[in-house]
Amino acid sequence: MIGTSGEARAEAPTAKDPDSMKDLPIISTVQNINKSEPCGGRLPAPATRTPGPAAMFSSDSVEWYTPPKIIEAVRELFGGTIDLDPCSNAKGAAANVPARVHYTQEENGLFQPWFGNVYMNPPYGAREIVPWIERVRMEYEARRVTAAVVLVKAATSARWFRTLSPKYIRCEVAGRLKFSGHPDSAPFSSVLFYLGDDVQRFADVFGRHGVIVGPWAAVRKTEEVPA
Euclidean distance between CA atoms 34 and 27, whole angstroms: 12
**What's the average model confidence in pLDDT over 73-96?**
95
Q: Reply yes or no on whether the pLDDT at 31 is more than 70.
A: no
Q: Which residue has the higher pLDDT, 171 or 10?
A: 171
How many CB atoms sit inside 10 A of residue 134's CB?
Answer: 14
Q: What is the dihedral of CA 7, 8, 9, 15, to 10 degrees?
A: 160
Instruction: State whether the Cα torsion 154-156-159-165 is positive or negative.
Output: positive
**20 in any annotated domain:** no
* pLDDT at residue 67, as a whole number: 87
Distances from the Cα of 63 to the Cαs of 32, 93, 108, 212, in angstroms?
Answer: 30, 17, 15, 27
Our count of domains for the chain comes to 1
Q: Which residue has the higher pLDDT, 170 or 124?
A: 170
Q: Where in the sequence is the domain holding 193, given as residue range(s)? A: 32-42+52-224
Q: What's the pLDDT band for 224 if we cut at 50, 70, 90?
A: low
**21 in any annotated domain:** no
**5 in any annotated domain:** no
- pTM summary value: 0.70
Q: Which residue has the higher pLDDT, 81 or 176?
A: 81
Closest CA to 53 of 83, 80, 81, 85: 85
CATH of the domain at 62: 3.40.50
**65 in any annotated domain:** yes
Convert the pLDDT of each residue in 101-153 to its tens digit: 999 999 999 999 999 999 999 988 889 999 999 999 999 999 999 999 999 99
**151 in any annotated domain:** yes
Closest CA to 45 of 30, 35, 58: 58
- CB-based contact 200:169 (threshold 8 Å): no
